[in-house]
Chains A and B, each alone.
Chain A
Amino acid sequence: RKEVEQDPGPFNVPEGATVAFNCTYSNSASQSFFWYRQDCRKEPKLLMSVYSSGNEDGRFTAQLNRASQYISLLIRDSKLSDSATYLCVVTARENQGGKLIFGQGTELSVKP
């Protein structure tokens, strides 16, 4: 079983749509959780951290369910510029020095 698994893509949605990405992780000792965004042929960049209480940043909402080992990202009112691959990322235990474990990514394509 992969350590971090994401919805297989790609997701093709029209502008203005709401889209949700799901992610599960296998290590219950994982400490921190993130969503990264990676544009085509570019490096990954941190989109947002994910907290147990849920957190929102503009059109983006992230949720974490530790009991189910499940993470989600909701994008409302999709823009063309949201087209990218979204990577679900968890860290290992604290004594593993911040090692990031990435999912395989889910590609999003927003069409006019």
Chain B
Amino acid sequence: EAGVAQSPRYKIIEKRQSVAFWCNPISGHATLYWYQQILGQGPKLLIQFQNNGVVDDSQLPKDRFSAERLKGVDSTLKIQPAKLEDSAVYLCASSLDLGLAGGRNEQFFGPGTRLTVL
């Protein structure tokens, strides 16, 4: 079974530029998550989708970050404009469904996109 796919794997941009990341979840997974992992920290949830609807975006900096999952499959996360503190790994994860994690709701992570903002 194919895992969660992400692209690009690496991106270097200058501050104030824009960047977009793409995620393709595991086939059939209804729930998709975007996490930000800053060096030396654990991942932090930015946004969670159930099909094409947003479940939780409470920690998404909405002045500069946006995300969409228009057809309930692939998702795009955008940063515009980028700041130095946005340098991090952006991880996409998916699970079969919502609810308590574990079992059928285990989250599977993609390899991440490593963003460097200069």
Contacts and interface: CB of A to CB of B under 8 A. Distances in A.
B40 A44 contact: no
Interface of A: 4, 31-32, 34, 42-46, 49, 87, 89, 91, 94, 96-105
Nearest to B40: A104
Contacts of B112: 43
Given A43-B112, A98-B95, 5 more contacts: A32-B100, A43-B110, A49-B102, A91-B100, A97-B56
A4 B42 contact: yes
Closest 5 CB pairs of A and B: A102-B42, A43-B109, A98-B101, A97-B98, A97-B55
B6 to A, nearest CB: 9
Contacts of A91: 100-101
A96 B95 CA distance: 14
B36 to A, nearest CB: 11
A94 B106 contact: no
28 contacts: A4-B42, A34-B101, A34-B102, A42-B111, A43-B109, A43-B110, A43-B112, A44-B91, A44-B109, A45-B109, A46-B106, A46-B107, A49-B102, A94-B99, A97-B48, A97-B50, A98-B31, A98-B95, A98-B98, A98-B105, A99-B45, A99-B56, A100-B45, A100-B107, A101-B45, A102-B42, A104-B40, A104-B42
